Amino acid sequence: MSITPDYWDVAKQHLRSVDTVIGDLIDRFEEPPLSSKEELFETLIHSIVGQQISAIAADAIWGRMGQLIDLSNPDSFEQVSDQELRDVGLSFRKIEYIRGIILAWPHLSAIDWDNISDDEVRKELISLRGIGPWTTDMILIFNLLRPDILPLGDIGVVRMIERFYADGEPLGQDELLEIGSRWIPYRTVATWYLWRVLDPEPVEY
């Protein structure tokens, strides 16, 4: 069962009032909203699968993994070999990262994620091998539904900002942050609608 953010309607109203570009995207792609299955382990694994490959390739690998194991259950990964995971399309490095998350899961599952700050979430996750800023942002957005995340490590988001606000010209980090500042405190919601331009099918992790 998925849940949607309780701030979503207020956020859309706010964004429409401060940015006509994002307001237009909301009108074009309003439904469905961002949602979370509240499965932190599955979201972590899914985000590792998606690192540095296209969404289409990641979805294909994820689908094959789902036929092999229960993706929401860390114990199910103990029942398959590294070679079996290689055969569905995972690199040895990503398998190593997934095995590390499984080892850390007793600690991770004991954390009260809903009641720690964005920075505390980042600190916990960055300590895991294979988890960088992009993956951490995906967790904050797709699992924890934090309202004000701007994932500038996501090339799709950067390209969409450049497309709509700079006629496709490259922008520096400071320029991207300045454009994104108008969306505070709902940068997650603006990001969601920028993604929808890239892929009309909602992104899921």
Q: Which of 8-17, 39-48, 109-118, 145-154 has the lowest mean pLDDT?
A: 39-48
Residue labelled with tokens 């919601």: 189
Q: Is the peptide bond before 133 cis (omega within 30 degrees of 0)?
A: no
| Domains of the chain and any CATH numbers | 8-35+149-198 (1.10.1670.40), 40-143 (1.10.340.30)
pLDDT at position 202: 79
Q: Is 177 strand, coil or helix?
A: helix
pLDDT at position 164: 98
Q: Examine the pLDDT at 53 and tell me if it is beyond 90.
A: no
Tell me the CA distances in angstroms from 132 to 60, 140, 185, one per residue in order. Answer: 23, 12, 23
Two tokens, residue 102:
């499984």
Contact 113, 39 (CB under 8 A): no
Helices (H) and strands (E) in the chain, counts: 12, 0
Contact 118, 140 (CB under 8 A): yes
**What radius of gyration, in Å, describes the C-alpha atoms of the chain?**
17
Residue type at 158 in one-letter notation: V
Two tokens, residue 144:
């924890």
Q: What is the tens place of the pLDDT at every residue in 4-28?
A: 999 999 999 999 999 999 999 999 9
Residue labelled with tokens 């095995």: 99
Determine the average pLDDT of the residues in 106-132: 96
Q: Examine the pLDDT at 52 and tell me if it is beyond 90.
A: no
The pTM (predicted TM-score) of the whole model is: 0.90
pLDDT at position 205: 76
Q: Examine the pLDDT at 197 and tell me if it is beyond 80.
A: yes
- pLDDT category at 56 given cuts 50, 70, 90 is confident
Q: Examine the pLDDT at 100 and tell me if it is beyond 90.
A: yes
Which residues are within 8 A (CB) of 63 and not within 5 positions of it... i.e. 6 or more apart? none
Q: What is the tens place of the pLDDT at every residue in 58-82?
A: 999 999 999 999 999 999 999 999 9
Q: Examine the pLDDT at 94 and tell me if it is beyond 80.
A: yes
